[in-house]
């Protein structure tokens, strides 16, 4: 894999408050149709014209019905014009009826839009094993395109479950003298683990881009962003990230040979990384975002494995919740990552404080470490001194509230 070159940040403008409708030709909205008690539970993104589309999906063998329908639909002509999302019910483990319901959602929304069925992606998130309340959803589909529901903010809210905040970001960059925008929104809070966790990500762009290259960019970027977060180690049945590129920015078609390919991929990465970190920070019960930076690995896979091992450790997560600079747990997690590291060359830092080096603990002031760990964003650095590869992973602390939320919430 060719690594995309780092792009000077001047070339990419980040709009933290913007989302999926910053790119030209996209609208979004959401409403309460009655799946949840009160909060918004049905949302859409629609493009003026069919957009080149790509997706990545959960690796869980119990894939939910809407994922099957969406994958099949994109396979037809690699295009989407709309995405319909419901929250509150995952339509997972629902058998034949669940599949029929997913097709019905697709068909009815396509009819409202007067487009072909296969141009509509359907996605669901929420409780597993219950049939969708199709009466309510069909009623919702009939009304949702009304002007009053058309608000990007409604969309961002309609996709949430146990999330406490909406998650969005957008960037702009210049390609062939044209302004290209990439916007994203996501949900995810529990059942979050690398390889597509209970997580939905929606990315829109007005870039003109070749299908194969869009697929490969999405895959690469997802491996570096969404697949590097964990909340609880559980990989859900419903995860997916979809990207729609409608070409309305009118740049020359992007391919890997285009001089600004790296710029576009960097922009896509900024959007996905921002969404991924927001999901990790909003992990169920979390009070902190933890970022692990691994460098000096002999391969990208090794760097990622070490990062994921640390970020997934319940003992590391509880120590950070307790603002305890318990580096022994970090070292232990490195040790069982499956990567043959040499204990005598590993260096570990908690923020600015080096805690372990040359196989031995370092002397440091506990109070300073405690003060650092009291921050909302905690960074852990690991230098393996075995090579040139590096990776970042994101997660959150494990708290009383995680237990509270999950001892009672029926997913």
User: Interface with its own copies by CB under 8 A: which residues?
Assistant: 59-62, 90, 92-95, 127-130, 190-191, 193, 195, 232-237, 312-315, 318-319, 321-322, 324, 326-329, 331-336, 340-341, 343, 356, 358-361, 398-400, 402-404, 406-408, 410-411
- The nearer residue to its own copies, 204 or 337, going by C-beta atoms, is 337
The 3-state DSSP class for residue 73 equals helix
Q: Quick one: which H or E segment has residue 314?
A: helix 314-321
- The nearer residue to its own copies, 180 or 320, going by C-beta atoms, is 320
- The nearer residue to its own copies, 66 or 247, going by C-beta atoms, is 66
Q: Is 230 a catalytic residue?
A: no
Backbone angles phi, psi at 257, to 5 degrees: -85, -15
Whether the CB-CB separation of 125 and 271 falls below 8 Å is answered with no
- The nearer residue to its own copies, 62 or 107, going by C-beta atoms, is 62
The 3-state DSSP class for residue 295 equals strand
Marked catalytic residue, from 52, 198, 204, 237: 198
Shortest Cβ 9–its own copies spacing (Å) = 36
Whether the CB-CB separation of 232 and 317 falls below 8 Å is answered with no
Shortest Cβ 235–its own copies spacing (Å) = 4
- The nearer residue to its own copies, 196 or 271, going by C-beta atoms, is 196
Shortest Cβ 297–its own copies spacing (Å) = 14
Backbone angles phi, psi at 259, to 5 degrees: -60, -25
385-397 core/surface letters (b: 16 or more CB in 10 A; e: else): ebeebbbbbbbbb
Shortest Cβ 173–its own copies spacing (Å) = 36
Number of other residues whose CB lies within 10 A of the CB of residue 359: 11
Burial of 365 (0-12, 13-18, 19+ CB in 10 A): exposed
Q: Cα-Cα-Cα-Cα dihedral of 212, 214, 215, 219, to 10°?
A: 140
Shortest Cβ 387–its own copies spacing (Å) = 16
The 3-state DSSP class for residue 202 equals strand
> How far lies 295's CA from each of 191, 302, 380, 390, in Å?
28, 10, 11, 4
Whether the CB-CB separation of 289 and 165 falls below 8 Å is answered with no
Residue set of the binding site for substrate = 161, 187, 198, 284, 406, 411
- C-alpha 402/C-alpha 404 separation (Å) is 5
Q: Return the DSSP state at 39.
A: S
Backbone angles phi, psi at 236, to 5 degrees: -80, 170
DSSP codes joined into one string, 146-163: SGGG--HHHHHHHT-SS-
- The nearer residue to its own copies, 169 or 399, going by C-beta atoms, is 399
Shortest Cβ 410–its own copies spacing (Å) = 6
Catalytic amino acids?
198
């Amino acid at each position: 894999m060719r690594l995309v070159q780092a792009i000077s940040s001047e070339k990419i403008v980040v709009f933290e408050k913007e989302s999926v409708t910053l790119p030209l030709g996209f609208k979004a909205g959401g409403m309460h149709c009655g799946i949840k008690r009160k909060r918004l539970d049905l949302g859409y993104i629609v493009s003026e014209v069919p957009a080149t589309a790509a997706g990545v999906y959960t690796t869980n063998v119990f894939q939910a019905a809407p994922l099957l329908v969406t994958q099949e639909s994109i396979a037809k002509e690699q295009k989407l014009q709309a995405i319909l999302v419901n929250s509150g019910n995952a339509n997972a483990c629902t058998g034949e009826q669940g599949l029929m319901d997913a097709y019905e959602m697709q068909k009815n929304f396509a009819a409202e839009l007067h487009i072909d069925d296969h141009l509509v992606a359907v996605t669901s998130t929420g409780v597993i094993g219950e049939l969708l309340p199709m009466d309510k959803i069909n009623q919702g589909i009939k009304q949702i395109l009304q002007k009053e529901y058309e608000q990007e903010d409604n969309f961002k809210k309609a996709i949430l479950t146990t999330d406490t905040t909406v998650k969005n970001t957008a960037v702009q960059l210049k390609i062939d003298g044209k302004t290209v925008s990439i916007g994203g929104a996501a949900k995810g809070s529990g059942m979050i683990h690398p390889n597509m966790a209970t997580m939905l990500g929606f990315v829109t762009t007005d870039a003109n881009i070749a299908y194969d290259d869009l697929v490969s960019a999405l895959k690469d970027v997802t491996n570096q962003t969404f697949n590097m977060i964990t909340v609880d180690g559980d990989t859900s049945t419903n995860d997916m990230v979809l990207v729609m590129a409608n070409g309305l920015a009118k740049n020359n078609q992007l391919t890997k040979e285009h001089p600004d390919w790296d710029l576009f991929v960097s922009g896509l990465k900024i959007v996905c990384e921002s969404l991924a970190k927001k999901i990790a920070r909003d992990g169920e019960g979390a009070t902190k975002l933890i970022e692990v930076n691994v460098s000096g690995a002999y391969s990208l896979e090794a760097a990622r494995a070490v990062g994921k091992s640390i970020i997934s450790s319940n003992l590391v997560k509880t120590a950070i919740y307790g603002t305890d600079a318990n580096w022994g747990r970090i070292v232990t997690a490195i040790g069982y990552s499956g990567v043959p590291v040499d204990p005598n060359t590993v260096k570990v830092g908690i923020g600015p404080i080096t805690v372990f080096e040359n196989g031995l603990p370092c002397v440091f002031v506990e109070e300073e470490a405690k003060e650092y760990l009291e921050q909302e964003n905690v960074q852990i650095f690991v230098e393996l001194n075995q090579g040139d590869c590096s990776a970042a992973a994101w997660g959150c602390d494990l708290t009383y509230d995680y237990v509270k939320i999950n001892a009672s919430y029926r997913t």
